[in-house]
Amino acid sequence: MPDAPLAGTPEIPGAWTTGTLVDVRRDGRLAYLRLALETPFTHAAGQHCVVRLRAEDGYTAQRSYSIASAPGDDHLELCVEVMPDGEVSGHLHDEARVGDTVEVRGPIGRWFTWGGRTPSIAVVGGTGVVPVVSMLRHARTLGTGERLRVVAVTRTLAELPYADELLAHGAFVATTRENRGDRVAATPYPDEVAPLAAGVERAYVCGSPGFASYGVRLLGEVGVRKDIIRVEQFGPTG
């Protein structure tokens, strides 16, 4: 059965609300943040939000972050990778503490969403896994995990956000800088991806702009039609 249209998620994101950090966990270049929203919003798996930081002198900086929490979670979960000299990621990774507040607006993006039923494949790199983690969590709630096949590409397993959760789901993880078991470090080979792409009705690609081009190419090589591929690029935002 295909996914129903997005019920409950507004066309236009709501007003800014205040998010209070209730949990911060740092792991290398990653920070996992959980926020309690003053005015909670309902999101669909795959959507993102905008986080705005405000300095005492009124200066603001805002960036987009995908939502990792499942629809219906009481808290909003984000995973932020710190960028060299990154203004917002640097603050969220290095300085944010439990009890701090930020401004949040969302949910955003009705295209890169998965309702939990359409047989799909996701090809993701780096923090591009974040929206797919929300999809996996949604699938667990619905009991439809077998309908979302995941190919995650990372330099090393230690650098992959949510590695344990992805592996528990049965994701195919390709490490490009370390051997894993019998598999020599490499990007995924088409014959590794082809069985996962068989019969899918939709495909998701998420990561840096370079990764997005690569992911679309890879899916094309294994016979996935371009018109069923949905892409989210994590380029720099202003």
Give the DSSP per-residue string, 43-78: --TT-EEEEEEE-TTS-EEEEEEE--SPTT-SSEEE
Interaction between residue 47 and ligand FAD (CB under 6 A)? no
Q: Which of 80, 173, 174, 193 binds ligand FAD (CB under 6 A)?
A: 80
CA–CA separation, 203 and 200 (whole Å): 7
DSSP state of 4: P
Query: How many residues bind ligand FAD, per CB under 6 A?
Result: 23
Segments in the chain forming alpha helices (H): 87-90, 130-142, 163-169, 190-197, 209-221
User: 114-133: which residues touch ligand FAD (CB under 6 A)?
Assistant: 127, 130
Interaction between residue 208 and ligand FAD (CB under 6 A)? yes
CB of 238 to ligand FAD, least distance (A): 7
CB 189 within 8 A of CB 164: no
Interaction between residue 20 and ligand FAD (CB under 6 A)? no
Using CB atoms, what's the residue nearest to ligand FAD?
Answer: 86
Considering beta carbons, is residue 124 or 193 the nearer one to ligand FAD? 124
The DSSP bridge pattern shows strands 76-81 and 30-37 to be antiparallel
Using CB under 6 A as the criterion, which residues of the chain lie in contact with ligand FAD when the complex forms? 48, 63-66, 79-81, 83, 85-90, 127, 130, 208, 232, 234-237
